[in-house]
A = this chain, B = another copy of it.
Amino acid sequence: MASRIGEEIEISPVELASRLARKSKINLASGSPDPRLIPLEEIRRAYDEVIEKYKSAAFSYPGAGGQEELVKEIEMYLSKLGLNKGEDEVVVTSGAQHAMELLGKYFLEGDVIAVENPTFIETFNSLKLRSSSVIPISLDEKGIVMEQLRQMLKLVKVKLLYVIPNCHNPAGVNMSDDRRREIAELAEQYDFYVIEDDPYRPIAGEVPPPIKGYDRYGRVIYVSSFSKILAPGLRIGFILAKKEIAEKVSLLEQLDFSTSTINQYVVAMLLKNQVVTSRMGLLAGHYKRKLELMSKVLREEGFHRFNKAECGFFQLIDLEKDSWKVFQEAVKMGLSFVPAKPFFLKGGETMARLSVSVASEEEIVEGVRLLRKAVDKV
């Protein structure tokens, strides 16, 4: 009775693991930012000030493409992300996930797409459900493996390439500068578009410029979000794309009209008041310290098969045993993480995604110790 999407949609494995793990004492599964770092007081004050300033206008229907005040603030904020507006346009979305859904809707109808292997399955779903075929390209410690990408492009016509260049979810790595530059060129050469999913950049610290920064042909669609730097519950993100695409995508927003007007004003005010930009360094340092600690403890506990995560929330690691079985043992001990097979189009049975985002330093240490025990039990 349902459409293809209606039939094929299923519960996300990440969501499933989080549900199973909800009662765990130590949470190395979460993709949410550290709740200790959500600027509650600043956000509360922003709601007050927005209601005081805009009154009922803060509660009217959102305009397609985003409230002008927020679009302007984002345009100024772009330089902090290593971007220039140039000829491109900003489209405000209800978070990066919503951006991906709009882009999937805009671009795809049974096309062939390419993605990193592994990739972030939840976001990627919007693309997968509208594609006929998905080609996985391996990742190494410098991001997508260019030789494989080039090889594939010679053989197959793809419509889109989807990549996460910074603090990769789940792999934790950053794409190297020269790969970014080359991807922008390949897109023109082989006539495809690049979706650059970059929600972690505001908390990434020093990383190479966005692929979008090398985009001379309007081939790159940049997606980011305020979920990591402010709070996911606001559901505000944005797309930067050439005018032709931006205009169509903002028309597609008429179909769901989902982006809260007041939350847009709140984020605009937090940008204006420097609450966003003043936190970037602090948050980058916070998560890097946690990741540093985790990799140290992993080594101490005899785990060695991983590329050290450089930023963001996630450390991907090879447990060298079926990670789903390890997960089941771990949950019994009060530890949760995400068995990473679902992030892989090929392989990944022994991989685990460990998150440092909500766990305290003590919990990270204790969590890795429990992980060792769980692995040894399998």
* CA A105 to CA B122, docked complex, whole Å: 17
Q: Is A234 an interface residue (CB 8 A)?
A: yes
* CA A87 to CA B36, docked complex, whole Å: 40
Q: Is A9 an interface residue (CB 8 A)?
A: yes
A-B contact pairs, 22 of them (CB 8 A): A1-B107, A3-B108, A3-B130, A5-B252, A6-B107, A32-B60, A35-B60, A38-B59, A40-B51, A40-B59, A43-B51, A58-B233, A59-B232, A97-B256, A97-B257, A98-B257, A101-B255, A233-B261, A235-B259, A235-B260, A235-B261, A263-B263
Q: Is A129 an interface residue (CB 8 A)?
A: yes
- Shortest distance from the beta carbon of A140 to any chain B beta carbon, whole Å: 29
* CA A47 to CA B45, docked complex, whole Å: 10
Contact of A60 among B104, B233, B254, B256 (CB under 8 A): B233
- Shortest distance from the beta carbon of A253 to any chain B beta carbon, whole Å: 10
Stretch at the interface among A10-18, A196-204, A333-341: A10-18
Contact call B260/A105, Cβ cutoff below 8 A:
no
Q: Which residue of B lies closest to A101 (CB)?
A: B256
For the complex with contacts A6-B106, A61-B232, 6 further pairs of A-B residues with Cβ separation under 8 Å are A2-B107, A3-B108, A35-B60, A47-B51, A59-B232, A129-B255
Contacts of A3 in B (CB 8 A): 105-109, 130
Q: Is A132 an interface residue (CB 8 A)?
A: no
Contacts of A56 in B (CB 8 A): 35-36, 38, 40, 231
A→B interface (CB under 8 Å)? 1-6, 9-12, 15, 31-32, 35-36, 38, 40, 43-44, 47-48, 51, 55-62, 64, 94-95, 97-98, 101, 104-109, 122, 125-126, 129-130, 227, 231-235, 248, 251-252, 254-263
Contacts of A259 in B (CB 8 A): 94, 235, 258
Does more than half of chain A's interface fall in helix, strand or loop, or is it mixed? helix
Contact call A248/B48, Cβ cutoff below 8 A:
no
With A2-B106, A47-B47 known as contacts, the answer to whether A235 contacts B252 (CB < 8 A) is no
Q: Which residue of B lies closest to A52 (CB)?
A: B44
Contact call A256/B254, Cβ cutoff below 8 A:
no
Contacts of A47 in B (CB 8 A): 44, 47-48, 51
Contacts of A59 in B (CB 8 A): 35, 38, 40, 43, 231-234
- Shortest distance from the beta carbon of A164 to any chain B beta carbon, whole Å: 16
* CA A311 to CA B104, docked complex, whole Å: 39
Contact call A258/B261, Cβ cutoff below 8 A:
no
